[in-house]
Structure 1
Amino acid sequence: MRRKLILITSIISVVLLSYGVHFFDNYENSIYDAFYQKPQETNDNIVIIAIDDATINALGQWPFDRSMHADLIDFISQGNPAAIGVDLMFDSYSNEASDFELARAIKEAGNVVLAKQIVYTPKIKGYKQGSDIVISQFDELLDVSTQGHINTFLDADRVVRKINMFAKRFVLETESYEEEPNFAYALLKLYAQNAGMDDQTKENLESVLQKYNHDTEDLYIDYKGIPRKYDSIPYFLVYSEGFPASYFEDKIVLIGPYANGLQDEYVTPVVKEQPMFGIEIHANILQNLLEDSFKKPVPSFFNVLMIVFMGILAYFLSNKLSPAKGLISNAAIIIVYLILCHQVYQMGYILKVFYPILAMMIMYVSALAYHYLEQLYEKKKIRNIFGRYVAPQVVDKILEDSDNINLGGERRYISVLFVDIRGFTPLSEKAEPEQIVEILNSYLELCEQSIFKNAGTLDKFIGDATMAIYNAPLELEAHALCAVKTAWDMKMGAQKLKQELFEKYDKIVDFGIGVNTGYAVVGNIGSKKRMDYTAIGDTVNTSARLEANAKAGQILISESTYEHVKDQILATPLGGIKVKGKETLIQIYQVEGIVGDDRQANGS
């Protein structure tokens, strides 16, 4: 159990650590990109005036004279737009007259938002942090416009997935942070003030503005479609005569770069092969504000909880189910989890997908490997234990049914056989040591072969005696008969062995055998360093008493054994005998043969 807890804890800890250091965020982001982003309808109230290649070709070299921008703003303003956003930087003076015209046009429009950009000062350990720099417009434009930051926040893979509605910048003079509103947020404020709309819509917009006011947390953009999906009009078409200004009524008009050479393109989750212009990203942010469809990451606690839960669940499944069923169950749970993540996304939150599934997959594979190695260890342990006690084919059966083998101890109905070599003690006093060992080994080899032949378990050799049990560890339906057959095989084998020993050493020995049937406790019994699979209890003791009462060449069985085998053996009742530890007499029988076995006690 301790090893299993270590396995579970280690895997979950590794996944949590990788989550904490964002080790697999690229994979997480890839799943997010594929799983969440899908085409949606764009908002018709958002219009892009595109400074595209056609415009540059038509109007001449970029950048345009600022008076052209002034003329464009004047024209758009005739159509009474709700707000105009200019995603261009006029951070230094150019032609004085053109600068004046641009400031005048913006002032007269009264609803223009200009861009600003925050340049963050690197934080160097051991050095005092400097102020973050704001790159903005020349002074006269600041006085007549609203500004919003156009910073893009790139993930490690250089993809724009999220924004800060209010970006924090450090100010050294006050040693504090100031907040700069997003370009789209500033536009929405003007839209809510100026656009013609019913009271409910206006109230909803004001609620959204209040919701995101001073929100500095990460907000994931719910992109509405592929690049170039928003309505866009080439700059030069609007600038030239003939385009109806009324088209812009109550709309949010965005003016910005729309040409590949203007270096305002970013990779987004929608189509990574086709970058999206910055002005399109602002359009998406605007629509997210209008629909209140931004997605926020759930608190880290929930992600941690899901990692732990999915990991433990995977271990439970691998522990309780077969590999095939466990795999199917894991796949089903992953599908359910993906559905859950999608539902949470629809509710406005992003739940980590990759890390919980990673925890589940690693845990499942590791648990399978652990269980496999554990089974190998258990099988090796069983083989080491029973390889000494039973025949190899029985060991194989035990391994096949190892789940039902209880080594810890259980009460079972078994038959027990004890056999002892009669006449061995006086022989050992006269014979040479080498002869003694050879004779003993010959008899014990016969015992082992007879036990294994009849599916018995060789419990132990006790000097010149042997103990065997039947119906443990494997179930053996006719265990009493198998025990008696073993005794008969020993008796028959001993007759041949006696002849060989007499011819070789001029000495003979024989077996005395006792068999009893009843309940006993069986299992691994012993100390930590020395443990054997054996049986204990009154049934075992009685069998040993029967063997002690058996004469050379005699097989004695108890009445309980006889009742199981009386139709398959030939036996002579000998009446009752008194044995140690028993107040009542034990009825015993002498085995004379096995039905169907033609071998006779004379050794024929």
Structure 2
Amino acid sequence: MNYLNQEQVQFLVDKSELILLEVDLNFTVISFNPFFAELFNLSEEHNVKLNLFNNVFSKPIDLSFISSVYDPILTGKKNEIDFSSQVQGQKESVQVEWKVKRVQDPTSKEIVLFHIGKIIINSELNQNAILLLQNEILEKNHSLGLITKQSEILSRIIQQYTPKAIWERAILFMETNELDIPNAVMELTFLFLDIKDFTSFAEKHSPERVILALHDIFSVAMEIIDRNSGDVDKFIGDAIFSVFDNPLNACKAALEIQKAVGEINESRINLKEETLHLRAGINSGKAIRGNVGNSRRKDNTLIGDSVNVASRLEKLCDPDKVLISENTYQLVKNDIKITSGEKVNIRGRESELTVYYIEEA
């Protein structure tokens, strides 16, 4: 029989990253994998009897293990530790370098996992143990391949339903194991787009026709918003709420969308379909991007008076036009053509606001 040598065994161990042992906080074994069981001649009945101090580590217990591993893990001072120990196998004592991690199991119970980092042998290992290790590696790699593929598909699905700003920030905080995206005050430009009298349109047409009409307009609008470095924050019925770092880009996007919808309407007229008309409102200012909801379902949304003003301007806007606030106008006045300003009353505000229709940007 051809046995694997030290280098071949270590290569398998390095590639495996297998969890050999799961123990509770009393260091009583909860479970062990087949490779470990074969290597150290353990059976399933040991699952309820085996203790690391009495059955696994060679006696006497090294006091350094107590001080450097057991106590820090038990008290929670450390959640991850590397250490070396002698483990008594079937025929010999084996030097093992462990990676120990304190984690929560799926039921939120605190447990300790023992990964194998390096194993040093003095003679030929039990070949059955090696075969078990090889099989476990193959099974794990197959499972990881499936998980990776499923994760990629899930990521693509979630990205389609999540604002780009949230997705990008979530990736940054994922590395620190944060479950909440921190609240932040941001200076942005807000664009609201809404289809005039869409409720009446929806009542007169089949659901399929309604969804198709929305898709035609929304897909073009999203492409233009993305091309102008904007981000669709959410859809609100037949409305689109998007945000921009650059106010001029917001103005350009709104004008391009109105032009594109005009072209869509020309096709609808040729098909003897009812035309649809957008209103657009833009405002610039500060807003809070914050979390609302609970641990089961959250929304990371933009909140503030600047957002509300943009929404109100969209409601006041004439169809097929783009209405901007004084705040936005001051930021882009050298780069756009406008109609003369006019004073308007906005619900929720005592003083009138000056607003402008954009003609060109």
250, 253, 269: which is aligned to 1:486?
Answer: 253
Partner of 1:305: 67
Q: Which residue identity is paired with 1:362?
A: V
Q: Does 1:501 align with 2:230?
A: no
Q: Aligned equivalents of 2:220 and 2:56: distance in 1? A: 67
- Per-residue displacement from partner, 1:36-59 (whole Å, max 9, x unpaired)? xxxxxxxxxxxxxxxxxxxxxxxx
Q: Does 1:388 align with 2:134?
A: no
Contact 1:512 1:552 in 2 (8 A): yes
Q: Give TM-score scaled by structure 1 length.
A: 0.38
Q: Does 1:435 align with 2:209?
A: yes
Q: Aligned equivalents of 2:356 and 2:153: distance in 1? A: 41
Q: Aligned equivalents of 1:523 and 1:436: distance in 2? A: 33
275, 279, 301: which is aligned to 1:534?
Answer: 301
Q: Aligned equivalents of 2:114 and 2:282: distance in 1? A: 46
11, 24, 27: which is aligned to 1:14?
Answer: 27
- Per-residue displacement from partner, 1:562-581 (whole Å, max 9, x unpaired)? 23333333333423321011
Partner of 1:123: none
Q: Does 1:459 align with 2:233?
A: yes
Partner of 2:138: none
**Which of these two proteins has the greater Rg computed from alpha carbons?**
1
Identity, % of aligned pairs?
24
Partner of 1:525: 292
Q: Which residue identity is paired with 1:23?
A: V
Q: Which residue identity is paired with 2:27?
A: V
Q: Which structure has greater strand proportion?
A: 2
What is the CA-CA distance between 1:544 and the residue it aligns to? 0.7
562, 567, 571: which is aligned to 2:334?
Answer: 567
What is the CA-CA distance between 1:309 and the residue it aligns to? 4.9
Q: Which residue identity is paired with 2:210?
A: I
Contact 1:562 1:589 in 2 (8 A): yes
What is the CA-CA distance between 1:367 and the residue it aligns to? 10
Contact 1:386 1:395 in 2 (8 A): no
What is the CA-CA distance between 1:466 and the residue it aligns to? 1.6
Q: Which residue identity is paired with 1:592?
A: E
87, 97, 100: which is aligned to 1:362?
Answer: 100
Q: Map of 1:333-482 to 2, 5 A cutoff?
A: 354=85, 361-363=99-101, 386-390=159-163, 401-403=172-174, 407-431=181-205, 433-470=207-244, 476=245, 478=246, 480-482=247-249
Partner of 1:551: 318
Pair 1:501–1:363, CA change in 2 (3 A): same
Q: Aligned equivalents of 2:193 and 2:339: distance in 1? A: 19
Q: Aligned equivalents of 2:209 and 2:239: distance in 1? A: 18
Q: Aligned equivalents of 2:249 and 2:152: distance in 1? A: 26
Equivalent pairs, count: 267
What is the CA-CA distance between 1:559 and the residue it aligns to? 2.0
Pair 1:316–1:546, CA change in 2 (3 A): farther
Partner of 1:315: 79
Partner of 1:588: 355
Q: Which structure has greater helix proportion?
A: 1
Partner of 1:327: none
What is the CA-CA distance between 1:443 and the residue it aligns to? 1.7
Pair 1:434–1:489, CA change in 2 (3 A): same
Pair 1:24–1:525, CA change in 2 (3 A): same
Give the SS at the match of 2:99: helix
Contact 2:170 2:181 in 1 (8 A): no
Q: Map of 1:213-232 to 2, 5 A cutoff?
A: none
Give the SS at the match of 1:488: helix
Give the SS at the match of 2:56: coil
Contact 1:524 1:533 in 2 (8 A): yes
Q: Aligned equivalents of 1:360 and 1:378: distance in 2? A: 29
- Per-residue displacement from partner, 1:63-102 (whole Å, max 9, x unpaired)? xxxxxxxxxxxxxxxxxxxxxxxxxxxxxxxxxxxxxxxx
CA RMSD of aligned residues (A): 4.2
What is the CA-CA distance between 1:556 and the residue it aligns to? 1.1
Q: Give TM-score scaled by structure 2 length.
A: 0.59
Pair 1:22–1:440, CA change in 2 (3 A): closer
Unmatched segments (≥5 aa) in structure 1: 1-8, 29-296, 318-329, 335-352, 471-475, 595-604
